[in-house]
Structure 1
Amino acid sequence: MTPHLRFAIVSDPHVALPHTVWRSPNRFHLVEVSIPALEQVFDHLSSLELDCVLMPGDLTQHGERENHDWLAQRLAALPFPVYVVPGNHDIIQRQGTDKTVGLSEFFQRYQAFGYDQQPYYLESLKPGIWLVGLNSIAFDPAGEQLYTGYLDQAQLDWLDQTLPQLRGDTVLVMIHHNVLEHLPGQSASTMGQRYMLKNAAALRSRLHSANALLLTGHLHVQDIAEQDGLWEITTGSLVSYPHPYRTVEMVVDEGRSQLSVQTHWVKAVPEWPDLLAHSHQWMSDRALPFMTKLLTSAPLHLEPEQAAQIAPQLKDFWA
């Protein structure tokens, strides 16, 4: 029988219960719509015959325990399996605080969604199709998040042991940070690097011998990239314009995977009837500081005066 998998990708939902929303004039993420948008997506996906839903990180606004609890309970009520990995907004400190979850607590909370006894996992989705969930969130010696994606040696060693056992099968690899570039020169840009896995080459070298497909988030854009035969699908955020999510049909025939990828959008929620127009303006109005920093940082190194002239023309870069 030819393996067939039908799944959805819902990335960077940044769940924020109303009383937890950060009030910041410079905030890019329109987290006010996080829960109604997610509920609309789940309603749609529940009407489909899906094998699973994959969520590649930034599940919550900023690691709040209340928001993680709400999401874990909501996922448990869905009619299909859900698998998650953490994003940089999910585990802020290794040990956590009285209001935010730490590293070990995150994996305990999501044991029904991929995890067992370690912060990475292997799950059989269909005969001959596997899911590898990886953790790209790393911390400094003081336990503060590094805010750059990194795979620790334990995960690399585990991949060295695991991937040879899957040879001939199809492997979906879910990780929050980008492994391939999705913007020109992304890995050479100081701002672009923050969205990429720092030791991406180490992961790519291990995946080239596998029939692997990367699934990432973090960048808040929709893109599919290829490098040396390795493909990566990155999916935008539910709380950023244009509020996308994906459904994917995968058919594996004689070791070759064929995919049909469809994008869907949340265009309106009850209190935001013209969500796309509003969120586009929201992003545009807040873009100037980010674009100025992009222009004045490596590799462009523009003078502030030059950046001040160009940045307003790039206000729709993320929108």
Structure 2
Amino acid sequence: MSRPTGPGGSGTVLARLARPAGEPTRVAVVADPHVATRAEGTSKLFERTRAHFEAALADVADRDVDAVLSPGDLTKDGEPWNYEAVDEALADLDAPFHAVPGNHDVPKDGDDHETPGLGRFVERYTPSDPVVRGPDGLSYRVGVGDLDVIGLNSAGTAERLTDSHEGHVGADQRAWLADQIARAETAVVLVHHNLPAVTAQLDAHRAAVESDLAEVPAMRDPEPLVETLAAGDVSLVLSGHYHLPTTAVSGGSADGGADGVPASGANGGSSERRSGGVREVAAPTTCSFPQSYLLCDVTPEGTTVRLVPVADSVGLETAHARRAADSATARGLTGIAAARLAAAPLVDER
């Protein structure tokens, strides 16, 4: 099947994966837009977040995607006016939009506003006719082309994780997840928070380069989740959260060592294939460097993941400069993102 490339060009190949493989299916992954209409500044470039999100959706509209997936953080901090801006941006999108909440989308104890009820998130940003919903209502399984996309809520609810930006997937959720994986033909899991091997890349950067890089809120007790995903032989996990375009395998052996850092071959990508474990591809943010989304093309030969920028060269350079001049954490995450882009493709399993 021939697919249009859209105004952003074909994009930079981030990864060539052996799985998922199947009938041609194309999904866009638009992560962490952090739409903010009453804020400006910071390394997230709040004053440009809406424009970046709209640019991503406009580019996606020309690419004949089967769906747009989002691992969350749609808003700055769950403000009603920012959700309204998200709704306005999505109004003209013809493709289905399937999201899971991020830690900035759900109510937190310190909020100075009333975050809309999570029933609204379910109604506006999750499938209207999923195959099934999870026990919290925010998780679901839905068919997208040849894929079975399982949206998994790691961010919490109005009663859970309100005191933290960490993620967690509890025993009831894992039992539901295991059942849905078993029922799926080609399971792809969409979740906000990252698995351990991607988190380990931040730890490695902290140890080697940026000692003041903060401990970014991570997934609590992730090992049981990895075990559930690995036992079900999940094809791919798509995540966001760290604002990094990267990939890693948790719970098995593949490219990269124990720290999860991709090992580069002569062409910048490892030719090793995963041996067990769970392949995760983490999407960049549209709000700050490198202001991009992912375009994933599934074919019978495997999946090609491309990174597509939503800003021009001046916008990218401005975002890089702003983020590099911010906190040690922003500077560190920018350094990791730049290194991953320079090494692309990060992995070639084919």
Instruction: State how far apart, in whole Å, the 2-side matches of 1:84 and 1:140 are.
Output: 18
Q: SS of the counterpart of 2:188?
A: strand
Which residue of 2 is the match for residue 35 of structure 1? 50
Matched residue type, 2:280? E
Instruction: State how far apart, in whole Å, the 1-side matches of 2:244 and 2:51 are.
Output: 21
Q: Residue 182 of structure 1: CA displacement?
A: 2.4
**1:89 pairs with 2:104:** yes
**Among 147, 159, 182, the residue aligned to 2:165:** 147
Structure 1 residues 206-263: Cα deviation after superposition (integer angstroms, max 9, x where no partner): 111333310000101110112313210001111111211111111246xxxx111111
Which residue of 1 is the match for residue 306 of structure 2? 262
Which residue of 2 is the match for residue 300 of structure 1? none
Q: SS of the counterpart of 2:198?
A: coil
**Among 181, 190, 196, the residue aligned to 1:174:** 190
Which residue of 2 is the match for residue 250 of structure 1? 298
- Give the conservation status (yes or no) of the 8 Å contact 2:118–2:158: no
Which residue of 2 is the match for residue 241 of structure 1? 289
Instruction: State how far apart, in whole Å, the 2-side matches of 1:57 and 1:163 are.
Output: 21
What is the root-mean-square deviation in Å for CA atoms of aligned residues?
Answer: 3.2
Runs (5+) with no aligned partner, structure 2: 1-20, 207-211, 253-275, 339-350
Matched residue type, 1:231? R
Which residue of 2 is the match for residue 277 of structure 1? 317
Instruction: State how far apart, in whole Å, the 2-side matches of 1:39 and 1:199 are.
Output: 35
Using CA pairs under 8 Å that are at least 6 residues apart, name the structure with larger relative contact order, 1 or 2.
Answer: 2
Instruction: State how far apart, in whole Å, the 2-side matches of 1:35 and 1:28 are.
Output: 15
**Among 22, 28, 36, the residue aligned to 1:8:** 28
Matched residue type, 1:137? A
Structure with higher Rg: it is: 1
**Among 128, 149, 160, the residue aligned to 1:131:** 149
In structure 2, relative to structure 1, the CA distance for the partners of 1:52 and 1:94 (3 Å cut) is farther
Which residue of 1 is the match for residue 181 of structure 2? 163
Instruction: State how far apart, in whole Å, the 2-side matches of 1:193 and 1:113 are.
Output: 37
- Give the conservation status (yes or no) of the 8 Å contact 2:27–2:65: yes
Q: Residue 193 of structure 1: CA displacement?
A: 5.7
Runs (5+) with no aligned partner, structure 1: 292-311
Q: Residue 57 of structure 1: CA displacement?
A: 0.8
Instruction: State how far apart, in whole Å, the 1-side matches of 2:198 and 2:214 are.
Output: 9
TM-score w.r.t. the length of structure 1 is 0.77
Matched residue type, 2:182? P
Which residue of 2 is the match for residue 294 of structure 1? none
- Give the conservation status (yes or no) of the 8 Å contact 1:173–1:213: yes
- Give the conservation status (yes or no) of the 8 Å contact 1:93–1:139: no
In structure 2, relative to structure 1, the CA distance for the partners of 1:179 and 1:114 (3 Å cut) is farther
Please identify, of 277-286 and 214-223, the stretch whose mean Cα deviation from structure 2 is larger.
Answer: 277-286
Matched residue type, 2:218? M
Structure 1 residues 185-213: Cα deviation after superposition (integer angstroms, max 9, x where no partner): 64798967634321321111111133331
Structure 1 residues 145-165: Cα deviation after superposition (integer angstroms, max 9, x where no partner): 321110123311211322222
- Give the conservation status (yes or no) of the 8 Å contact 2:56–2:310: yes
- Give the conservation status (yes or no) of the 8 Å contact 2:283–2:293: yes
**1:51 pairs with 2:55:** no
Instruction: State how far apart, in whole Å, the 2-side matches of 1:140 and 1:267 are.
Output: 35
Instruction: State how far apart, in whole Å, the 1-side matches of 2:122 and 2:111 are.
Output: 13
Instruction: State how far apart, in whole Å, the 1-side matches of 2:222 and 2:57 are.
Output: 32
Q: Residue 59 of structure 1: CA displacement?
A: 0.6
Please identify, of 171-180 and 152-161, the stretch whose mean Cα deviation from structure 2 is larger.
Answer: 152-161
- Give the conservation status (yes or no) of the 8 Å contact 1:9–1:53: yes
Instruction: State how far apart, in whole Å, the 2-side matches of 1:185 and 1:11 are.
Output: 19
Instruction: State how far apart, in whole Å, the 1-side matches of 2:162 and 2:23 are.
Output: 43
- Give the conservation status (yes or no) of the 8 Å contact 1:174–1:214: yes
- Give the conservation status (yes or no) of the 8 Å contact 1:7–1:50: yes
Q: Residue 83 of structure 1: CA displacement?
A: 0.7
Identity in percent = 25
Matched residue type, 1:204? V
Matched residue type, 1:274? V
TM-score w.r.t. the length of structure 2 is 0.71
Which residue of 2 is the match for residue 202 of structure 1? 224
In structure 2, relative to structure 1, the CA distance for the partners of 1:97 and 1:130 (3 Å cut) is farther
Instruction: State how far apart, in whole Å, the 2-side matches of 1:263 and 1:143 are.
Output: 31
In structure 2, relative to structure 1, the CA distance for the partners of 1:315 and 1:158 (3 Å cut) is closer
Q: SS of the counterpart of 1:317?
A: helix
Instruction: State how far apart, in whole Å, the 2-side matches of 1:315 and 1:220 are.
Output: 8
Q: SS of the counterpart of 2:153?
A: coil
